[in-house]
Chains A and B, each alone.
Chain A
Amino acid sequence: MNMSEKVILHSLHLDRPWSLETYRSTGGYDTLRKVVTEKMPAEDIIAQVKVSALRGRGGAGFPTGLKWSFMPRSFPGDKYIVCNSDEGEPGTFKDRDILLYNPHQLIEGMAIAAYVLGAKVGYNYIHGEIWDAYERFEQALDEARAAGFLGKNICGGDFEFDLHAHHGYGAYICGEETALLESLEGKKGQPRFKPPFPASFGLYGRPTTINNTETYACIPYIVKHGGQKFLELGKPNNGGTKIFSVSGHVNKPGNYEVPMGIPFAELLELAGGVRDGHKLKAVIPGGSSSPVLPADVMMDTTMDFDAIAKAGSMFGSGAVIVMDETVCMVRALERLSYFYFEESCGQCTPCREGTGWLYRVVHRIEHGQGRPEDLALLDDISGNIMGRTICALGDAAAMPVKGFLKHFRGEFEYHIEHGKCSV
């Protein structure tokens, strides 16, 4: 495992790594130029992306090459590509660093994607609460336009692509791709019912491909070095590196770009280990919506889509929330449930009504008002939300409840029985 090879955060040691000048000095935009001037066949690029086993970095882990192949590239009308930088999952803070420290790689990745998918216009939807990242990205767009990497006749060829930044207002639901499209269209951010999927009915009803910031940022590397090299950075079916946002009770919280499939123990060590004098209790491995896993399970797993799924949770966006023995699991769940209660868009019944119900029951247990039947009730409510909603927010609200109850039921029972915390 090559720990030093970075795909995205490779220029942090350089001066002003976000500037076009610095990016060019590392060979930036050479890949785009090559693609455009050599008129590289789009199918070849898609094939390379498929070989790379790049999987969506936003949370769902859908194979990017496959997603690209759904796009009707020969559709005669307008087509769009959209970047999802609406990073709102609690625990996740990787996309903002890409925007802040390597925005041009994202632009280059999107331009290549636009070339492949036949789009002339793209949008980057940036989370409303990271204004500095939005401004940094706008600067980068200006630089790229001035240098001829965006606009008409890119790199002197006949390829045309313009990219616009759009900042949201911080609603979590707008990170859901179809709610994002609605919001981008100027409407209230509420998910659409699927099918139709964005590849056939996306932005303004046109074929649209939406990928996460980190996903697009991987593209120049894959095209430059070939899919195989990217794949070999990680492990089969989980190609490349991954930026993990490690937070919680560790000594050095932050973003770590490491190969896919790194053992959790190594990642924890990189982050300085559990804060001094404490021991690991549990980890939420992939952002707040992924089920919590106890310490022993985590210490035995590697960090990739398949291993985490096997361990009973979700790789998600790579947001690793580390909790030591001081954490009350009831209180932790109460906080998470409150988040989903507040962020439910209210469109469909199970989520609108169920998230509030979940929160209130957990809140009651945390505040010494729990009842013996409450745990069965929580199991039921979360089960009744899961798989019954228009988008995945319902599942996102239900899964933490299921995870916490599965591994830490005893703590909940203690709360109910004694009206106070065991921690």
Chain B
Amino acid sequence: MAQIEIDGKQVTVADGSTIIEAAEAAGVYIPRFCFHKKLSIAANCRMCLVEVEKAGKPLPACATPVIEGMKIFTHSEKAVQAQKSVMEFLLINHPLDCPICDQGGECQLQDLAVGYGGVSSRYQEEKRVVFNKDFGPLIAGDMTRCIQCTRCVRFGQEIAGQMEMGMAHRGEHSEITTFVGRAVASELSGNMIDLCPVGALTSKPFRYSARTWELTRRPAVAPHDGLGSNVALQVKQNRVYRVLPRDNDAVNECWLSDRDRFSYEGLYSEDRLNKPMIKEGGQWRECEWKDALEYAANSLNLIRQEVGAEQLGALASPSSTVEELYLLKKLMTGLGSGNVDHRLRHSDFSADAYRQGAPWLGRSVASLQELDRVLLIGSSLRSEQPLLAQRLRQAVKRGAHLNVVHVADDALLCRVAHKLIVAPDALAQALAQVVKALGERAAVDAEVQPLLAGIEVSETARSIAASLTTGENRSVLLGNVAQHHPRYALLHRLAQEAARLSGAAFGVLGEAANSVGAYLAGALPAPGGLNAGQMLATPRKAYILLGVELERDSYNGQQAMAAMQGAFVVALTAYKHRAHEFADVLLPIAAFAENAGTYVNTEGVAQSFRAAVAPRGEARPAWKVLRVLGNLFELDGFSQDNAEALTSEALGNTPLADKLGNALRPGMNLVLDKPDGGRLQRIGEVGIYQTDSLVRRAASLQKMSAAPRAWMHNSLLAQLGLSEDETVTVRQGDAAIQLSAACDDTLPAGCVRVAAGHEQTALLGGLFDEIRVEKSKGQQQTAEHTPS
């Protein structure tokens, strides 16, 4: 600790602190532009110059470490003169366009100019003009306003993992720009808007729509990934205009992924369902809530009486709140059906009977940064959990080994120590190699041991095992691709064993905002009930859908749509989507920002939020809709009048941590088959901006989302007689769609990568099932899908 004096105040600060940190501790504000607590120190703006006793010249507070006995003057004549002179320099070439600048009112330069700027300018020469660049659909650039603080550049290098911005040229001609002709493509790019202290980088979707002082800040929790980023919704006249991060070092720090930041645009999609609707005699008509609810309840009751409650199924989105999922389960239980599930994209449920707790991250989000060794299995992490990828990047920068077992070799934008990239049907084999290699150092569990016979351990697997047995903090993490995989139970068991053998924490990355919450709220099949896969494979007579867009949210969209044919479907949905084609009752529900509720993030932390705006049209929060349905069925326990009452009922009084757990109970029937080399397999992971219905309707994000293509290794292209960019016919089951062929030599052999969640690929089959690709006959562009 060092004892120093700032503006006459005695302060004790940690050794090695900078003056700016010490001043913050003392409650003294030092003006700054380039300094940012999460970025490296650049000391280039010079705004934070302060006077230090015995120093000949003013020193930058951001870069000067304190030493014992230092006397610092932040407001002395000398300090203020230096600060004012820097402000004068910053302003001489800065345009006087505040009235038309989107940053107006939240501009650091504007704010500090009030305190440190002159009344008029002594600069009489021509001002600099910098031509604007196109940074893509999310970031608007007015580069004449740039003060070259390089926060955006450092963000790219240090946080996003890719240097998309840089300072070209020199001196007065320096300008911040992307590589020639490139737009910004990072999944974290929006943070540069927050970081920019002036109006050089502003939000393109928000641009020219409101002034910051007209907006009210309402706290919320982001709805797209398992992190549950803390956000502030900026609201005016009952409309969300912008989403910004709220600082929370335990969750998202001060960052936000672009998906969480820009998805609000989806709230105002034309596809929103604004009024309840009933289909009668094949014709849709809008109706009153009362009519729709009574129609739904009566019809469901009738079906239940005629064919039995086991013919009812409920499928829910894992982006639904704890309260909604809890009530849905309660409703189904009341109706006598155990058929409830939220895991629509899963295809292997065989671990269900052996699960002992809700699958979770296995450690805190913040502690990911302290990891020394990581094994990441089946995860396209940057698109699944953009900010968790960022945390791991920081760990790797500190020296952590990141090991990967996956089906595609996508850049994680950090150093990967060892990787096994294999076809989906060889994923379990690859993981088994790692387990076997770990078994060379410790005894493998008797249950797993028989699987390893005949497994040949590759050098890479041995290196991964060696890596995992060193270092202090270790984690084995299972991603979305592993969870959606047809042999998920096996992968889970093997990963669990790899974690046990290496002494690592075992984590399952929560797929959606409330995946963990859905387990805790019980949105799962009751004993004897059907899971999502069974409900769709053996169609029910009636379904209740909660917030799902079945064709794009399921493991096998084709099968899901087939199951809906002929069934009575009540869809609680914020969007019309294809429910129009198959549902019988459409009940408009509140979307993100319009709803109160609770999400439990992947770390197992419950975060509650209130509605920030009223629901669109006549939409109602789903928990209220479910409560009324419960009453219409005359079930007990549907009288809650606020979401908070439901929360405690749903989550109970025991600490959530006690209900989390990834270890499977012993006794599972484990078989490890040999990969079947004969057929082409689809790699169908969900695109970053296709994860849920809200983001799929966010127009600006959709512009960032590449159209799906049939990606394959060039040897496969050659084998099939195809050339790159050629339009090909891709078939799964009964569906055939036209896509353009693309070459990616990092893909494993025998695989065709066709992203899921897109409208174009919605009716294909299973995400990791067999796929066929052939030359298109003629230039037919439309899909010729014929769901059976």
Chain B: interface secondary structure? loop
Assembly CA distance A204 to B457 (angstroms): 38
The residues of A that contact B44 with a CB separation of less than 8 Å are: 347-349, 390
The contact of A388 among B85, B92, B171, by CB within 8 Å, is: B85
> Can you name 6 A-B residue pairings with CB atoms under 8 Å?
A171-B170, A346-B148, A346-B172, A348-B44, A387-B56, A388-B57
Q: Is the CB of A384 within 8 A of B41?
A: no
The residues of A that contact B42 with a CB separation of less than 8 Å are: 193
- Most chain A beta-carbon contacts within 10 A, residue among B43, B44, B45, B56: B44
Is B90 in the interface zone, CB < 8 Å from A?
yes
The residues of A that contact B123 with a CB separation of less than 8 Å are: 357
Q: How far is the CB of A368 from chain B (nearest CB, A)?
A: 15
Chain B, residue nearest A346 (CB):
B174
The residues of A that contact B122 with a CB separation of less than 8 Å are: 377
Within 8 A of A (CB), among B147-178: 147-148, 167, 169-174
Assembly CA distance A387 to B65 (angstroms): 18
Q: How far is the CB of A375 from chain B (nearest CB, A)?
A: 13
Assembly CA distance A345 to B49 (angstroms): 20
Within 8 A of B (CB), among A194-208: 195
Q: Is the CB of A193 within 8 A of B41?
A: yes
Contact with B along A362-385 (1 / 0, CB 8 A): 001000000000000100000010
Q: Could you say which interface size class chain B belongs to? A: 20 to 34
**How many inter-chain contacts with C-beta < 8 Å in the A-B complex?**
90
Q: Is the CB of B43 within 8 A of A353?
A: no
Q: Is the CB of A388 within 8 A of B46?
A: yes
Within 8 A of B (CB), among A380-423: 384, 386-390
The contact of B92 among A342, A353, A387, by CB within 8 Å, is: A353
Q: Is the CB of B171 within 8 A of A341?
A: yes
Which residues of A does B touch, CB under 8 Å? 171, 173, 188, 193, 195, 341-350, 352-357, 360-361, 364, 377, 384, 386-390
Are A349 and B89 CB-contacts (below 8 A) given A387-B58, A388-B57, A390-B43? Answer: yes
Assembly CA distance A25 to B46 (angstroms): 55
Assembly CA distance A387 to B82 (angstroms): 10
The residues of B that contact A360 with a CB separation of less than 8 Å are: 125
Q: Is the CB of B86 within 8 A of A173?
A: no
Chain A, residue nearest B94 (CB):
A353
Q: How far is the CB of B169 from chain A (nearest CB, A)?
A: 7
Q: Is the CB of A349 within 8 A of B92?
A: no
Q: How far is the CB of B299 from chain A (nearest CB, A)?
A: 69
Q: How far is the CB of B90 from chain A (nearest CB, A)?
A: 6
- Most chain B beta-carbon contacts within 10 A, residue among A171, A353, A360, A377: A353
Q: How far is the CB of A343 from chain B (nearest CB, A)?
A: 7
Q: Is the CB of A346 within 8 A of B173?
A: yes
Assembly CA distance A346 to B174 (angstroms): 6
Chain A, residue nearest B175 (CB):
A346
Within 8 A of A (CB), among B120-138: 122-123, 125
Is B225 in the interface zone, CB < 8 Å from A?
no
The residues of A that contact B147 with a CB separation of less than 8 Å are: 349
The contact of B86 among A171, A346, A349, A361, by CB within 8 Å, is: A349
Q: How far is the CB of B370 from chain A (nearest CB, A)?
A: 23
Q: Is the CB of B171 within 8 A of A344?
A: yes
Within 8 A of A (CB), among B79-136: 82, 85-86, 88-90, 92-93, 122-123, 125
Contact with A along B669-684 (1 / 0, CB 8 A): 0000000000000000
The contact of A342 among B47, B90, B171, by CB within 8 Å, is: B171
Q: How far is the CB of A131 from chain B (nearest CB, A)?
A: 22
Q: How far is the CB of A99 from chain B (nearest CB, A)?
A: 26
Q: Is the CB of B89 within 8 A of A353?
A: yes
The residues of B that contact A352 with a CB separation of less than 8 Å are: 89, 148, 171-172, 174
Is B63 in the interface zone, CB < 8 Å from A?
yes
Q: Is the CB of B172 within 8 A of A387?
A: no
The contact of B125 among A171, A188, A344, A357, by CB within 8 Å, is: A357
